[in-house]
């Protein structure tokens, strides 16, 4: 079966523009996570979706960041009015129960 | 709050040798899961090994094994017969049901020398 996919793989944008990053989780996985990884750093938790429950948005760094998950499957992370400090790799992961999270290849975002 | 600490920023090992990567953690939960993830230069995070806290037996996956010391809150990863393809960043992760989040350490860069 297919793993977690993310698109685009790379995104270059100008400061102030909005961007949308997409994540397709593994089919049947009920949990979906977004993380941010700055150059050479660890993973910073952003947001977590579990089934139909309200998402845990406690990791979102500002109100410019939002995410949604439609139909319990595909998720979109939106960053409005991008800033240079938003430049990072954005990783999506999905999981079923506690077997471990499976990660996508990430989207490298560069804000000029 | 839960924390994961990887105090070694980088390590180097000769091919075919054994290396141990350290990780300590802290949580007030009694039931939790620990993970090691590998991130090669391709940046794809790969699950290496998983340990349930309620299991005393250390997890093993081929050349990868862990030394889980629950009382000491220590969870180290041993890589035997190191291969060039093991060169990557390795992240230790802690998952608890309390907040359903996977908390990661800062990672360690492992280089395997030919």
* Cβ neighbours around B44 below 10 Å, total: 16
Q: Would you call B64 an interface residue with chain A, using a CB distance cutoff of 8 Å?
A: no
Query: How many alpha carbons fall within 13 Å on the CB side of residue A92?
Result: 30
Long-range contacts of A82-87 (CB under 8 A, 24+ apart): A82/A13, A82/A14, A82/A15, A82/A16, A82/A17, A82/A18, A82/A19, A82/A109, A82/A111, A83/A15, A83/A111, A84/A15, A84/A111, A84/A112, A85/A111, A86/A111, A87/A38, A87/A111
Taking the C-alpha atoms of residue A43 and residue B52, their distance in angstroms, rounded to an integer, is 22
Q: How many helices (H) and strands (E) does chain B have?
A: 0, 12
Q: Looking at residue A58, what is its pLDDT?
A: 87
Q: Looking at residue A71, what is its pLDDT?
A: 80
**Per the CB < 8 Å rule, is A101 touching B101?**
no
Taking the C-alpha atoms of residue B100 and residue B60, their distance in angstroms, rounded to an integer, is 24
Secondary structure (3-state) at A41: coil
Q: Would you call B100 an interface residue with chain A, using a CB distance cutoff of 8 Å?
A: yes
Which stretches of chain A sit within 8 Å of chain B by CB?
A: 31, 33, 37, 41-43, 45, 48, 50, 56, 89, 91, 93, 98-106, 108
Q: What are the pLDDT digits (tens) for A36-91?
A: 998 877 888 999 998 888 888 888 999 999 999 988 789 999 999 999 999 999 99
Q: Would you call B9 an interface residue with chain A, using a CB distance cutoff of 8 Å?
A: no
Secondary structure (3-state) at B85: helix
Q: Least CB-CB distance to A103: which of B45, B50, B103? A: B45
Q: What are the pLDDT digits (tens) for B24-41?
A: 999 998 889 999 999 998
Q: Least CB-CB distance to B44: which of A33, A98, A103? A: A103
Q: Would you call B102 an interface residue with chain A, using a CB distance cutoff of 8 Å?
A: yes
**Per the CB < 8 Å rule, is B99 touching A56?**
yes
- Residues for chain A: how many in total? 112
Q: What are the pLDDT digits (tens) for B63-111?
A: 999 999 999 999 999 999 999 999 999 999 999 876 677 889 999 999 9
Closest CA to A60 of A75, A72, A77: A77
Q: Looking at residue B99, what is its pLDDT?
A: 67
């Amino acid at each position: 079966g297919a793993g977690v996919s993310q698109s685009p793989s790379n995104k270059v944008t100008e400061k102030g523009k909005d961007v949308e990053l997409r994540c397709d989780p593994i089919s049947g996985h009920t949990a979906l996570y977004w993380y941010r990884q700055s150059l050479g750093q660890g993973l910073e938790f952003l947001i977590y979706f579990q089934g139909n429950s309200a998402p845990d948005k406690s990791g979102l760094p500002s109100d410019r960041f939002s995410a949604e998950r439609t139909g319990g499957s595909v998720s979109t992370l939106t960053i409005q009015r991008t800033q240079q400090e938003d430049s990072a790799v954005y990783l999506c992961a999905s999981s079923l129960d506690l077997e471990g999270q499976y990660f996508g290849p990430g989207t490298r975002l560069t804000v000029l | 709050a839960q924390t994961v600490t990887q105090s070694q920023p980088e390590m180097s090992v000769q091919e075919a040798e054994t290396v141990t990567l350290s990780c300590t953690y802290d949580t007030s939960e009694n039931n939790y899961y620990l993970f090691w993830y590998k991130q090669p230069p391709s940046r794809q995070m790969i699950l290496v090994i998983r340990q349930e806290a309620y299991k005393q037996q250390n997890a093993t996956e081929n050349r990868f094994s862990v030394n889980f010391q629950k009382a000491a809150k220590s969870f180290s990863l041993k890589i035997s017969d190191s291969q060039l393809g093991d060169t990557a960043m390795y992240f230790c992760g802690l998952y608890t049901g309390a907040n359903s989040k996977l908390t990661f350490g800062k990672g360690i860069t492992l280089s395997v020398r030919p």
